[in-house]
Amino acid sequence: MTAERFAALVAQQPENEKFRFSLAQALLREARLPEAVVQLETCVHKKADWMMAQILLGKTLLALGRPTEARPRFETALQLAIAQDHEDPAREMQALLADLSPKERPDTD
């Protein structure tokens, strides 16, 4: 489905985070990343333990050149993956976090 179709569903049921997630995915397919971020942020705000929404939000922020904002999403997704026993996403989040440049890592001194 197109983003417009999912946008219509969101307009009918704005509290439905599944419609918003589907809208975000459609927006990403259409290379409308900033709009997808808005939808994904709503999803993780409504359901903080939604691992896939956290991952997709982090990846979208990273694609937009916003690694500092992506990092906490990846960290949250890693915690969720571990807590929910999802090994592959946990490994993926560890790799993404390791790949972020040192300037994007919090100062530990």
Tokens of 1: 């489905």
In a domain, 76, yes or no: yes
In a domain, 108, yes or no: no
Q: Report how far residue 54's alpha carbon sits from residue 34's, in angstroms, rounded to the nearest whole number.
A: 15
In a domain, 61, yes or no: yes
In a domain, 22, yes or no: yes
> Which pLDDT value is given to residue 62?
96
Residue that the structure tokens 């999803």 belong to: 43
* CATH number of the domain encompassing residue 51: 1.25.40.10
Q: Domain residues for 48? A: 3-103
Q: Report how far residue 89's alpha carbon sits from residue 40's, in angstroms, rounded to the nearest whole number.
A: 18
> Which pLDDT value is given to residue 101?
65
Tokens of 13: 């049921």
Q: Is the pLDDT of residue 73 over 70?
A: yes
Mean pLDDT of 57-65: 97
| Domains contained in the chain, number | 1
Q: Is the pLDDT of residue 52 over 80?
A: yes
Give the model's confidence band at 109: pLDDT under 50 very low, under 70 low, under 90 confident, else very high: very low
Q: Is residue 56 within 8 Å of residue 40, measured between CB atoms?
A: yes
In a domain, 109, yes or no: no
In a domain, 83, yes or no: yes
